[in-house]
Amino acid sequence: MPDLNVFHFGPADGPPVLALHGLTGHGKRWQPLAEGNLAEARVIAPDLRGHGRSTWAPPWNFETIVADLVALLEAEGTGPVVVVGHSFGGAVGVHLAASHPQLVKALVLLDPAIALPPAELLTVATSTVEYPDYTDVEEARSDKLSGAWGEVPEELLDTEIHEHLSTTRNGRVGWRMGIPAITGYWSELAREFVLPPPGLRVALVQAMKVQPAYVTDAFKAALRTQLGDNFTLHEFDCDHMVPLSRPRETAEIVRPLL
């Protein structure tokens, strides 16, 4: 199995859920949802390659992450799992379902970032390289609050800072992630979307306050065509951090698929 740091929540005999965080995130972000609103499930939440306490080694692409997850699920011995993916994790989940359908029981996509405009991703990747860290904790906190974390409860932002912020070699602070890996992954989000196999149940949550939207009309239309009645779309009046800002509503979508 690859050198992945994995968090486990819930009963060992609960229905298995593979929870995939977004780009720049980490597996422990799923703890509030897993322990609060989805406590009956066995939640497996890895730090994806390049993030947190997992390996930061290349290659940095969907194929390598999927291979990591296949090895993880084999080691966990779960059988098919419900995959819940947020943002970049949603894109990873679709690739996992497309290439290894026998491992995925159902798919929940929380404001997935898929097939985004290359020009926008170049801007974000360039900023990641030019501004990889912060002067201090308060600057890091302010950056989160001015972005998609504005609706996340304050105590969860405190937990994020405690878990995910570390001191860099130059005495500043930065999120616990490999900047080269993150830069490579922004490029992956420019790739054309793939689709899950016909017959798979897929629920997609779009965060309607995200403008321009991460969820494109083309992707939604392709899912409807591919999946028919097995596809459901949910529109949440929230910003991008869906599982942290809307945990109850998220759990209500996941639970029937368990």
Catalytic residues: 87, 217, 240
Please provide the DSSP assignment of 96-128 as one string: HHHH-GGGEEEEEEES---S--HHHHHHHHHHH
Tokens 């929380």 — which residue? Answer: 110
Tell me which residue of 188, 64, 195, 175 sits closest to 128, measured CA to CA: 175
Contact 99, 121 (CB under 8 A): no
Distance of CA 166 to the CA centre of its chain: 21
Rg (CA), the chain: 17
For 195, the 3-state DSSP assignment is coil
Q: Which helix (H) or strand (E) holds 155?
A: helix 154-164
The pairing of strands 165-167 and 201-207 is unpaired
